[in-house]
Structure 1
Amino acid sequence: MTNEEYVPHFRYMPDQPEKWPRGAAWTLTHAHDAGQVTGIRCARCNVTRYYKPAELREVIGNVTIDEVREKVRCQKCGSREWMGAELFHPTGEQAHTIRYRRLVQIRWEKRVIWRDE
């Protein structure tokens, strides 16, 4: 066989996906699509909780992991300063042992504020 016989097979290969654009933000939607897990840790209480990025996105919005770190507060001690957040791919063992905090519902409170004149 000659090279001309092999060329048509390579000519019509599907396009390869582009590399991630430099400077583009990796958001919770991208993390969910990639199968990542969000781990949020309070260094003061030494408590780590795991979330699905899609559920965090519903509460916080489609933000980067750095913005998640700024917006969360420890439920145990109420601190914001000690919070850390990371996105990671769970290993095989982790995937079976991680206990996720799942979103049940979102409630909106209606508060009335009065002003005396």
Structure 2
Amino acid sequence: MPEPYWPKRKGSYTLADAAKHNTYASIRCTYCKRTRYYLVADLKTAFGDVECDDVVHVARLRCRNCDGKGSLELKMGGPPSDIADKAWLRRIERVEYKRRIVWKETQGV
């Protein structure tokens, strides 16, 4: 029998809370095992103050290496010290907004 849906509590752990405690977040693809590191403040800027568990789902992120075959998992914390000098950090370069016009047909001039 499936587990029941329980609404999330009001005091859940959001990106704003994570930014106070952690500087980095790692997102790892379960298919190709590639890990990418992000600043928590950049994730908050991009997706808003959402819960940490929901970042991957809200953003609909996909792995570029394997074309989204695997699922992504988010963990708070930076790269381990043995690969910290080789790890790449992803930063926001710019945010682009698309403007789309929707027309409505009306009768008469």
Question: Same fold by TM-score, threshold 0.5 exceeded?
Answer: yes
Which structure: larger Rg? 1
Residues 56 and 72 of structure 2 are in contact (CA less than 8 Å); yes or no, is this contact kept in structure 1?
A: yes
1: CA distance, partners of 2:79 / 2:34 = 18
- 1:83 is matched with which residue? 72
The answer on whether the counterparts of 1:36 and 1:90 sit within 8 Å (CA) in structure 2 is: no
What percent of counterpart residues are identical?
A: 28
What are the superposed Cα offsets for residues 36-65 of structure 1, whole Å, 9 maximum, x if unpaired? 411111112221110011100111111112
1:41 is matched by which residue type in structure 2? R
Pick from 19, 23, 46 the counterpart of residue 59 of structure 1: 46
CA gap of 1:88–1:46, structure 2 versus 1, over 3 A, is same
The corresponding residue for 2:63 is 74
Q: Which residue of 1 aligns with 2:37?
A: 50
Quote the residue 1:105 is aligned against. 94
Stretches of structure 2 lacking an aligned partner (at least 5 in a row): 1-8
User: Which has the higher relative contact order, 1 or 2, with Cα contacts under 8 A spaced 6 or more apart?
Assistant: 2
TM-score by length of 1: 0.63
Rounded to whole Å, the distance in 2 between the matches of 1:45 and 1:114 is 43
Count, aligned residues? 96
Q: Root-mean-square deviation (CA), in Å?
A: 2.9
Return 5+ residue gaps in structure 1 as ranges.
Answer: 1-21
Matched, 1:39 2:26: yes
Contact 1:36 1:88 in 2 (8 A): yes
- Offset at 1:97? 4.7
| Residue 93 of structure 1, CA deviation | 5.0
CA separation of 1:105/1:73 partners in 2, compared to 1, >3 Å: closer, same or farther? same
Q: Secondary structure of 1:57's partner?
A: helix
